[in-house]
Chain A
Amino acid sequence: MTKPEPGKLMRPQRKLRDGIHVPKVTLAHGGGGKAMRDLIDDVFVSVFDNPVLAPLEDQARVSLSELALHGDRLAFTSDSFVVDPLEFPGGDIGKLAICGTVNDLSVGGAKPLFLSCSAIIEEGVDVALLRKLARSMAEAAAAAGVAIVTGDTKVVGHGACDKLFINTSGVGVIRTGVDLGAHRAGTGDAILVNGLLGDHGAAILVARGDLHLETPIESDCAALNGLIDALLNACPEVKFIRDATRGGIATVLNEIAEASGVGIEIDERAVPLRDEVKGFCEILGLDPLYLANEGKIVVVAPAAVAEKARAALASHPLGKDAAIVGHVAAGPAGRVVMQTKFGGKRIVDMLVGEQLPRIC
């Protein structure tokens, strides 16, 4: 079978070219000649290699009958990663590029199988850094049980991109009988999350260094296919799952409220946040509900199985702080309301742009 064993890196299937002996990527590495082959072999193929990738054709070839063993519908997704800085506490752009696409497939109830990797590299980037990031991708892919089966590299001049952009697309197969959708939320359903919110957004803001803050906050970047498997196995009644990335859970909740034509009420006391993230948000005047996550999902489940769903999430290491944070209300349609700890109520709307720190 074409799929690698989880946790195991595939070894190269053919003899690779010699490798790169210069410290930095130059435009020559994007020229289509030997230098480009050197870069691809040295940085990417050496760590990604697997039977589907090995022939290095212009496309990966996958047997339909083998795909069909996993379910009855294909899931296909794409995401681009432009994070600054490339490395941050808890992860790097490579790990993020794998986990992000694995999660986008998994939240649809799909088993993620194959990923592509396209890298746009700014000239002058350290080859050693690229190797490290590619290794991080390979490790994340192996841990998630997916194979990187096709890819592309481009090298662009100074200023045409910011060091390194990665696009990953992914293919998975949706198990038969699973039908998750944002439009399926109904009155009384429970809203759950799998753990502490806002870590990624806070970690990235701190890692950029402009704030001169020191915190122990690490990105929660993680592949969630195992967690979602555990949830759907224990609780097939689950109606909807989405990863709460950019825009945080506030954005996902608004998307559900809009798509299902329902209201959503959450309880501030039930929203899991670590003290460091709370403090970080207090100092900067940010709202943790809007901070990005890279390892958190919002789940809608019928009230009758809410506790079962919470327990299923909590049984997995990536869900140990899972919580029921609110419920779906009959109306007003499209509105998300939070009962504040203080006893008041406020509307949790979509953000217009980025959250900007307040002056005073």
Chain B
Amino acid sequence: MKYVDEFRDPEKAAALLAAIRELTQSVVRELRRPLHIMEVCGGHTHTIFRYGIANMLPAEIELVHGPGCPVCVLPMGQVDDCVAIAETPGVIFTTFGDAMRVPGSRKSLLQAKAEGADVRMVYSPLDALAIARDNPKREVVFFGLGFETTMPSTALTVLQAEAEGIVNFSLFCNHITIVPTIKAILDSPDLRIDAFLGPGHVSMVIGTTPYEFIARHYRRPLVVAGFEPLDILHSIWLVLKQMNEGRCEIENQYGRIAPAEGNPAALHAIAQVFELREFFEWRGLGSIDHSGVRMRAPYARYDAERKFALPALHIADPKSCQCGEVLKGVIKPWQCKVFGTACTPETPLGALMVSSEGACAAYYQYGDLEGLRSKRAADAA
């Protein structure tokens, strides 16, 4: 398939892997310990597992699966709010598919739907707007979710609703921003990350300059990476090359999609509709300053937070759940006490087990479960 197969070429992969092995030797000789590279984005995690990349890399490279899966970092209280809106009489609640199974404190959206709430899966916020157009007597709420990647399309949908004078549409805004979150991880006392693969599609919107502080202040290399398997290998090679040469820079491997300056039209739409919140609650990571956005006052009539009386309760993560430590790279998914036992894709305790981009679900789906369990038992003993 054009523009896909080129990025999955096994011969190029073999050449890159040979180069990666060579550089790893040299870098690890200096460091005298394994390397920890965090892929920030859940899309990267998915590619890494789907193509079996982790097992192709030298044993000295440990990939740490970062917080860039918007579904995974959704706190329970937020899901409870979604359920409360969805269960309001007259409401049609619309959402992207993989948010449906995220557990709230009482139930998921999928369970609310089974109990009679009108919850519909959509593929674009514009689909939600179309439902509003077709159902003028119902209030249609779209669950706005995701990083800067999905923010522009939500913003433009709100602007479109305003232009058309549609009044029965609103947005439950749970959009989050990536940069403060990376900063929170870098500030974490148990930080173990040597370098980052930066999120390609977020960078398509925001460009590469917002990451500069990571290289400058924290002295960690970051390579903005694409989502095909060769993109991942190429980016890992670029990271190693920087480390080997003692450089610490922001590099862009995904230049074919993500320009250095980002997408000005998308940024403009975001700025017009959204403003930063003082803080936002993340599952596993706690509250992070300026890591979420809400709707600006002129768009209040499209804001579900203002339209509905929400419980907005803070629900603590389950005690046994170690999603936070997994997100920060302190432990591997399979080292979590409840991985594969109390927490499985059928009955997820933590959100990392829910989405196919979640590190735990990826390990569970694609990983060697038996091997991991015995490894955990050996570690404990």
Contacts and interface: CB of A to CB of B under 8 A. Distances in A.
Interface string B331-349: 0000000000000011000
A356 B147 CA distance: 19
Interface in B218-249: 229
B97 A345 contact: no
A344 B97 contact: no
B1 A279 contact: yes
Given A210-B122, A358-B355, A340 B98 contact: no
Given A347-B366, A360-B146, A360-B150, A342 B96 contact: no
A343 B98 contact: no
B49 interface: yes
B145 interface: yes
B52 A340 contact: yes
Contacts, number: 93
A359 B367 contact: no
B212 interface: no
B146 A359 contact: yes
B197 to A, nearest CB: 16
A23 interface: no
Nearest to A282: B4
Contacts of A285: 46, 356
A300 to B, nearest CB: 24
A346 interface: yes
A347 B367 contact: yes
Contact of A211 (B53, B123, B345, B367): B123
A70 interface: no
A349 B366 contact: yes
Most buried by B among A285, A341, A353, A358: A358
B357 interface: yes
Interface residues of B, number: 46
Size category of the binding interface on chain A: 20 to 34
A194 to B, nearest CB: 23
Contact of B46 (A212, A332, A342, A358): A358
Contacts of B53: 342, 344
Interface in A316-360: 332, 340-347, 349, 352-353, 356-360
Contacts of A352: 345-346
B356 A358 contact: yes
Given A357-B96, A359-B146, A340 B51 contact: yes
Interface of A: 210-212, 275, 278-279, 282, 284-285, 287, 332, 340-347, 349, 352-353, 356-360
14 contacts: A210-B123, A210-B127, A278-B1, A278-B4, A279-B1, A332-B370, A342-B229, A344-B52, A344-B55, A344-B56, A347-B367, A358-B355, A358-B356, A359-B96
Given A343-B10, A346-B50, A358-B357, 17 more contacts: A210-B121, A279-B1, A332-B370, A340-B51, A342-B8, A342-B10, A344-B51, A344-B55, A345-B55, A347-B365, A347-B367, A357-B123, A359-B71, A359-B99, A359-B357, A360-B147, A360-B201
